[in-house]
């Protein structure tokens, strides 16, 4: 297999494949993958992307747009290493070999144990394979699915909105609204990209939240994550979450790893955690948070209603350092995304 050494035409095709792949759903058990088929002269023969579980993978989608034999000698540019297993669909490595593709270029290796090995299978059949083209760009775009796949559990985003001094509510408990409408709209769009939204039973009992993903006008967005409540207190029969259009699950929350495992088994690959501080802190203490999403409002509240509780950190030397992914203004507020550094070894 060749090293990553993508020429400009291959990089352009990979950037296009990434654009296509991101059209697919972000909340399913399958990754967002795009494919561009190039002719021997570099012209685009066909494009494809994956539209969700049970639908053709990106490579097969692109191949289906050509007549029989139309891909012979072509180069397939794919964002993720072609899979080498049979699930709801067949192996993409075999489909590319059968189509007579001469070269496969991919960005990111598929390290999931059930699907990897596609590059080796292709190379064994005499197909030239080049890996790592625009790898950093594609990894950034697919960080949720890649992290979940490599950890074997859903990617966990811990979100909160707070004042500049880290308070999520005033002394009397009021918290609507710390942040402005632009930040709230952004939260709903991010909910719609997740497979499940988690809250503690304390939040359900105190606020009776709907936990739906809505437009600025209040209409439901097309995709609704599963609503999940964690805690030992019973949820009232008339609670809004019990009528959630995406479905409702409840767990006692004593074993957070088991909760994530159960959601993984249901096909959830991204969990969006919205509170409260007890749940957020428990996940942080357990090392189960993959991303922190904070909306900071330009207000100061004082008092003790902090975004997180005790994390077991006794001194500054024990602080949990994260990498700042982004910090930008959204309306009158500031949106911060940070992630713990994780290293994954290739097979």
Q: Cα–Cα–Cα angle for 316, 322, 324, nearest 5°? A: 125
Q: Tell me whether residue 257 is exposed, middle or buried, using C-beta atoms within 10 angstroms of its C-beta: 0 to 12, 13 to 18, 19 or more.
A: exposed
* Residue 16 parent element (H or E): helix 8-21
Asked if residue 35 lies in contact with residue 59, where contact means CB atoms within 8 angstroms, the answer is yes
Asked if residue 58 lies in contact with residue 93, where contact means CB atoms within 8 angstroms, the answer is no
Contacts of 56 by beta carbon, 8 Å cutoff, 6+ apart: 48, 50, 64, 89
- DSSP strand E in 258-307: where? 270-273, 291-296
Which residue pairs, CB below 8 angstroms and at least 24 apart, start in 162-166?
162/294, 162/295, 162/296, 162/297, 162/307, 163/296, 163/297, 163/299, 163/300, 163/301, 164/296, 164/297, 164/298, 164/299, 164/300, 165/300, 165/301, 165/302, 166/306, 166/307
Distance, in Å, from the CA atom of 159 to the CA atom of 279, rounded to the nearest integer, reads 11
Catalytic residues: 59
Is cis: bond before 276, omega within 30 of 0? yes
Contacts of 317 by beta carbon, 8 Å cutoff, 6+ apart: none
């Amino acid at each position: 297999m060749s090293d990553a050494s993508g020429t400009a035409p291959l990089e352009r095709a990979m950037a296009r494949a990434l654009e296509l792949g991101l059209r697919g759903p972000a909340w399913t058990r399958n990754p967002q993958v795009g494919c561009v088929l190039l002719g021997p002269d570099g012209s685009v023969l066909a494009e494809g992307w994956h539209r969700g579980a049970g639908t053709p993978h990106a490579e097969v989608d692109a191949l289906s747009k050509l007549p029989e034999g139309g891909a012979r000698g072509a180069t397939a540019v794919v964002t993720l290493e072609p899979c080498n297993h049979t699930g709801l669909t067949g192996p993409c490595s075999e489909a590319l070999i059968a189509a007579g593709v001469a070269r496969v270029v991919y960005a990111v290796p598929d390290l999931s144990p059930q699907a990897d090995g596609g590059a080796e299978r292709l190379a064994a059949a005499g197909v030239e394979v080049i890996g790592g083209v625009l790898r950093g760009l594609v990894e950034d775009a697919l960080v949720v699915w890649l992290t979940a796949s490599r950890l074997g559990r859903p990617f966990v985003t811990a979100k909160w909105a707070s004042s500049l001094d880290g308070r999520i509510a005033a002394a009397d408990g009021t918290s609507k609204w710390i942040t402005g409408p632009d930040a709230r709209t952004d939260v709903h769009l991010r909910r719609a990209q997740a497979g499940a939204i988690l809250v503690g039973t304390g939040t359900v009992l105190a606020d009776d939240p709907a936990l739906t993903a809505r437009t600025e006008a209040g209409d439901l967005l097309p995709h609704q994550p599963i609503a999940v409540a964690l805690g030992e207190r019973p949820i009232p029969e008339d609670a809004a979450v019990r009528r959630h259009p995406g479905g409702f699950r409840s767990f006692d929350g004593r074993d957070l790893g088991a909760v994530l495992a159960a959601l993984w088994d249901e096909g959830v690959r991204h969990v969006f955690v919205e509170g409260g501080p007890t749940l957020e802190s428990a996940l942080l203490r357990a090392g189960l948070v993959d991303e922190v999403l904070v909306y900071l409002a330009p207000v100061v509240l004082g008092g003790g209603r902090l975004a997180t509780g005790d994390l077991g950190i006794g001194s500054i030397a024990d602080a949990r350092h994260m990498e700042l992914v982004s910090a930008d203004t959204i309306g009158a507020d500031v949106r911060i995304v940070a992630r713990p550094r994780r290293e994954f070894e290739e097979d």
